[in-house]
Structure 1
Amino acid sequence: MASIRSRNKRLIVDFYYMGKRCRETTNLIDTPANRKKLESIILNMEAEIRLGIFNYAKYFPKSDKAAEMVALNDRKECINTNVPSFKQFATLWFSEKEIEWRDTYKRKIQEIIDMYLLPEFGTKAIHVIKKTDVLAFRSSLAKVTYGKANKHLSAARINSIMVPLGMILKEAAKRYKFDNPYYDIKALKQPKTDIQPLTLEEVWTFINGVREDYRHYYLVRFFTGMRTSEIDGLTWDNVDFNRREIVIKQALVKGKIVPPKTQESYRAIQMSPWVYEALKEQQEISYRRSDYVFCSHTGEPLDYNNVNKRIWHPTLKVLRLKKRNAYQTRHTAATLWLAAGESPEWIASQMGHSTTKMLFNTYSRYVPNMTRQDGSAFEALVNRSQITQACTDKETSK
C-alpha cells in the first residue's frame, strides 16, 4: 500500500509498481488539507494499478521514471497477451514488404519508422494503440520544426509519415484480430502544387542567357518535360537518333541509378527539332567522356543540388526572371504543349502520366493566359453560327 512522506516540506508518494519501489515528490506542501487531498489521489492510483490501467506518466509527467515505467508496462502487456510491440511488428512488416519496393522507397520508409514512429509507439503492445493515440501523434507532427527558418512540416510531409503507420496498424489488426485504430482517418488536405511555368519568351531568354555549357541541358529539360532524376540519369544508350526518341527507363536518385518513378514513367519521348540538334551537339561534347549525356567535367553525373545552386537560381536572378524551382521546366513543357494544341493523350504519354486527368487538373488553367483565348473561341463559333443563320433567313425571305 502506498504511503505519504514528507521531505523539505513537500509531500512524497511512496509506492510499488511493476515490482519496483517508486518515490515521487509532489508539488503539495505538507499540510493536513494537502495530505487528505493526496490520500484521495492515492486511492485512485491503487485502484488503477489493480485494474491494470495505471498510467505512470499521467500522474507523474515530469518524473525521470515515467518513460521507464511506461516501457515496463508495455513489455508486460506484450508478454501477457502474446502480441508483439509496435517495434517488433514494424520490423517484421518491413522485412516482408521491402521486396516490393525499390531502394529509394525502402530508405524513405525506414527513415520514417526510425525517426518518427518508433520514438512514439516503439515499446507499446501494438493492439493497445488507440485512434486517439494516432490522432495525437499526427497533431504533434504539425508542431515539429526544421531548418534555420524553423519551418513546420507540410501537410504532404505529415501525410507521408502517416502512410506507413496506417499500413502497419492495418496489417497488425488483421493478424491479431483487433480493431484497426487507423480506420477512417483521412489524409490532411494538401494545397495544390505551386505551378509557375515560364512563357515561351522566358524560356528562350533563359536558354540564350544561361552558361554555354548548360545550354543544351536546359533546352532539353524545357522541351521534353523530363523529371530532374530522368535527365540527370539519361545515358547515351537511351538516346535513339534514328527514331528521334529519348527512352526513359531509369533515373538518378541520390547518386544511384534506379527504375523510373512509376510504371507509366517508362516511355519514349519524341525529340523536337531543337532537342535533336541540342543532343547532337552534346554528343560531340560528352559522348567519349562519359556514359551520361549530361555530366561534370570528370564524367560523373550532375549533382542537381549543386546545379540548382550554381546555375539555375543565379541565371534566373541575372535575367530578372521570377524565382522558382527547377521542376518548373517540366511544368513549362506541359503548358507549352497544351497551348500549342497538342493532343492531351499525347502530352500525357510524353510526361509519363497514366491518364489525362492530372494533366487537366494541374495545367489547364494556364492555357487561356498563353493562348489569349479566354472563351473567345466559343464566342467566335457562336458568331459564325449567327452569321450563317442570318444568311439562311435572308435567302428564305427572298
Structure 2
Amino acid sequence: MRPSEQIALLWQDVDLRSGVVMVRRSRVLAKDKERTKTAVGREVELNTRALAVIERQRTRTQLAGGHVFRNPSTGKPWNDEQTQRRIWAAALAAAKVRYRPPKECRDTSVTLSLQAGADPVWVAKQHGHSLMVMMRDYAKWIPGADKGRNLDAINRAISANSAVESQYRNREKEKTLN
C-alpha cells in the first residue's frame, strides 16, 4: 500500500478472516480523500507478514475504532505522511542505515513478488499499478523468475489439446469404419 493509503486504512476495510483489506481512500496533506491516488479501489490479499502486522494492530487500535494505524505517541490517527517520514528517518539513522524513502518499501514488495514468480497482472493489481507502469518500471525483474512455470503451463495446454484432438480423430475413424 502507498503510505497515504496506509494512514487512511479503516478497520471497516479489513477482513481478517479472508486476509484482505479494501484500499479505497487516502490521506494527503492532512486531508482525507475518499479515493486512492489512481481513483481505483482495490482488494489487497495480505501475505503472512502483512496479516501478522494487522493482527498486532488489533490489540492497539481496533477497540478505538476508525483507523488501523495510529500515531503511537498521541494515539490519534496519523495527520500526514510527513510526520511518519520524520519518524522513519530517525529510526533509520538510529539503526545506522542509509536513508531511503518509505516508497522504496513498496518498490521492494513489487520486485520481490516478481522475482518470486508471481503473476505480473496480480502484482500490479495488488499494488495499485497499471500494467503499463508495471511493465515500464519493473519488467526487468520478471525474466527467469518463473523458473519454467510459464513454459510448463503452455506445454500442459498443448498436451491437453493434443489429447482432445487425438480422441476426436479416433472417433472419426470409428465412424468411418462403422
Which of 351, 354, 362 is the equivalent residue of 2:137?
Answer: 362
Cα 1:285–1:260 shift into 2, 3 Å: same
Alignment of 1:316 onto 2:92: yes
Q: TM-score, normalised by structure 2?
A: 0.72
Q: What residue number does 1:231 align with?
A: 6
* Cα distance, 1:290 vs structure 2: 4.2
* Cα distance, 1:329 vs structure 2: 1.4
Which of 106, 111, 114 is the equivalent residue of 1:335?
Answer: 111
Aligned residue runs from structure 1 range 254-293, under 5 A: 254-258=29-33, 259-263=35-39, 265-293=40-68
Residue 247 of structure 1 aligns to a residue in which SS? strand
Preserved contact between residue 16 and residue 51 of structure 2 (Cα < 8 Å): yes
* Whole-Å separation in 2 of the counterparts to 1:273 and 1:241: 11
Aligned residue runs from structure 1 range 1-398, under 5 A: 226-258=1-33, 259-263=35-39, 265-296=40-71, 297-302=73-78, 303-309=80-86, 311-355=87-131, 357-365=132-140, 367=141
Preserved contact between residue 267 and residue 350 of structure 1 (Cα < 8 Å): yes
* Whole-Å separation in 1 of the counterparts to 2:96 and 2:118: 30
Deviations 1:312-369, CA, capped at 9 Å, x for gaps = 11222233333221111111110110111100010011011232x211211233x38x
Q: Kindly tell me the number of residue pairs found equivalent between the two proteins.
A: 145
Query: Which structure has the higher relative contact order (CA within 8 Å, separation 6+)?
Result: 2
Amino acid of the residue matched to residue 349 of structure 1?
K
- The runs of 5 or more residues in structure 1 that have no matched partner are 1-225, 382-398
* Whole-Å separation in 2 of the counterparts to 1:322 and 1:360: 28
Q: TM-score, normalised by structure 1?
A: 0.34
Preserved contact between residue 21 and residue 43 of structure 2 (Cα < 8 Å): yes
Amino acid of the residue matched to residue 339 of structure 1?
Q
Q: Considering only aligned residues, what root-mean-square deviation do their CA atoms show, in Å?
A: 2.4
Q: What residue number does 1:106 align with?
A: none
Preserved contact between residue 8 and residue 32 of structure 2 (Cα < 8 Å): yes
Deviations 1:111-147, CA, capped at 9 Å, x for gaps = xxxxxxxxxxxxxxxxxxxxxxxxxxxxxxxxxxxxx
* Whole-Å separation in 1 of the counterparts to 2:66 and 2:76: 9
Preserved contact between residue 28 and residue 81 of structure 2 (Cα < 8 Å): no
* Cα distance, 1:269 vs structure 2: 0.2
Residue 289 of structure 1 aligns to a residue in which SS? coil
Cα 1:317–1:298 shift into 2, 3 Å: closer
Question: What percentage of aligned pairs have identical amino acids?
Answer: 28
* Cα distance, 1:241 vs structure 2: 1.0
Preserved contact between residue 29 and residue 81 of structure 2 (Cα < 8 Å): no
* Whole-Å separation in 2 of the counterparts to 1:364 and 1:324: 22
Cα 1:361–1:354 shift into 2, 3 Å: closer
Amino acid of the residue matched to residue 64 of structure 2?
R
